[in-house]
Amino acid sequence: MKIAYTGTIFFYQKFGGISRYFTEIVKIIDAKAKIVAPINKNIYLKNIGLEKKNSFYFKKVPHFYLLKKINNFLTNQVIKYYKPDIVHETYYSDNVKNLVKYKKVLTIYDLIHEKFKDNFFKNKLNEKQKILEYIDHFICISEQTKKDFLNYYKVPSEKVSVVYLGGNHLETINYNETPIFNEPYILYIGSREKYKNFRILIEALNKIQTKGISVVCFGGEKISKKEISENKSNIKINKIYGNDLTLLNLIKNAECFVNTSIYEGFSIPNLEAMMNDCPIICSDIPVFREICGVAASYFDEKNSEELAYKIDKLINSKDIRYNLIKNGNLRSKKFNWKACAKSTLEIYQNVLDK
């Protein structure tokens, strides 16, 4: 079996959960597999062997329409030469209509745009539906995502499968580092915009009783003037960027990891925390319950007082911390990239057998 992964997500994403997903499974998958990303800016892809990719890395890739068309043209030429049995589209590209001779799989990550219907995406829903019509099978990254997907789109349920992502990519790092921050801190990872609901953590900071604590935000946007003005507490919000080693250092030395999202399709950061002895406090939403089970402390995503209480309680209780870490270690064994790759390969084979 030969599999080609399109370069769509690698054209747009420098790093992040989706590109992490594809670079991890392509390293493991027991078949001839190649990521076709002629023009890309992705950091993870740089660490993939040449036999597993067709790519040219650029530090910056502007999202010009013409450049996207060139990238699609080059992608199609490589795929035509490679002659795969399966094409796995990595992120909702209308270029799939030019790949009609191949069996196609698409991963559905979440239904954020559909649920929140921002003005930009209102005009894109019909375009997305047209893309879906070219796909032979869909992979959803959680049961909640599958439920949402079938709710919004007219797709036969037999064409939809659930495959959980992994979170064990950090275990390959040879970690022996001194802590980046010496003072106790709450860790937050990734974007803080809109549905990420970071404001609830800012509100909670004003109510936390524990002294000498700070917040460290890894990745995402710069701390805005609005965020600074809304933080009325004495708790400092620090901003840091870095690589996987930096991320691992922050996870291993944090008092806790806080995830405030009001909606997700999955959550790789939750897994990263569970797998590296960092207790989790997260919003009480269905997908987090599905992924974390009893390995997290949950709070009402609208209740900053409850979040502050959960943070104080966790930081000041060795028993709560111990139990969350223990449960996290056990729960996280269910989610690994080897299992993800194996299940994905089985889906490819089922598609070809039909």
DSSP, collapsed to helix, strand or coil, labels residue 254 as coil
In angstroms, what CA-CA distances link 306 with 187, 217, 300, 311?
Answer: 18, 21, 7, 9
Residue 219 DSSP code: S
Q: What is the CA radius of gyration of the chain?
A: 21
Residue ranges of the chain with per-residue pLDDT less than 70: 118-124
Ramachandran angles phi, psi of 185, nearest 5°: -150, 155
Q: In what order do the strands lie in the sheet with 256-259?
A: 237-240, 214-218, 185-189, 256-259, 280-283, 296-299
Q: Residue 176: what pLDDT? A: 79
Q: Residue 247: what pLDDT? A: 96
CA 353-23-38 angle, 5° bins: 90
Q: Please state the separation of Cα 173 from the chain's center in Å.
A: 19
Summarize pLDDT for 304-337 with one digit per residue, the tens: 999 999 999 999 999 999 999 999 999 999 999 9
- Tokens 């890395």 sit on residue: 57
Can you say whether the dihedral through the CA atoms of 22, 27, 29, 35 is positive or negative? positive
Domain 2-166+336-353 sits in CATH 3.40.50.300? no
Q: Provide the CATH topology of domain 169-332.
A: Rossmann fold (3.40.50)
Q: Residue 113: what pLDDT? A: 85
The CA dihedral of 173, 175, 177, 182, to the nearest 10 degrees, is 90
Residue whose C-alpha is closest to residue 208's, from 310, 308, 303, 298:
308
Indicate the domain borders of the chain: 2-166+336-353, 169-332
Separation of alpha carbons 129 and 117, rounded Å: 15
Q: Residue 123: what pLDDT? A: 61
Summarize pLDDT for 185-194 with one digit per residue, the tens: 999 999 998 8
Give 180-218 as a DSSP string: S-SS-EEEEES--SGGG-THHHHHHHTT---SS-EEEEE
Same topology between domain 2-166+336-353 and domain 169-332: yes
Q: Residue 31: what pLDDT? A: 86
Separation of alpha carbons 144 and 287, rounded Å: 6
Q: Is 143 exposed, middle or buried (0-12, 13-18, 19+ CB in 10 A)?
A: middle
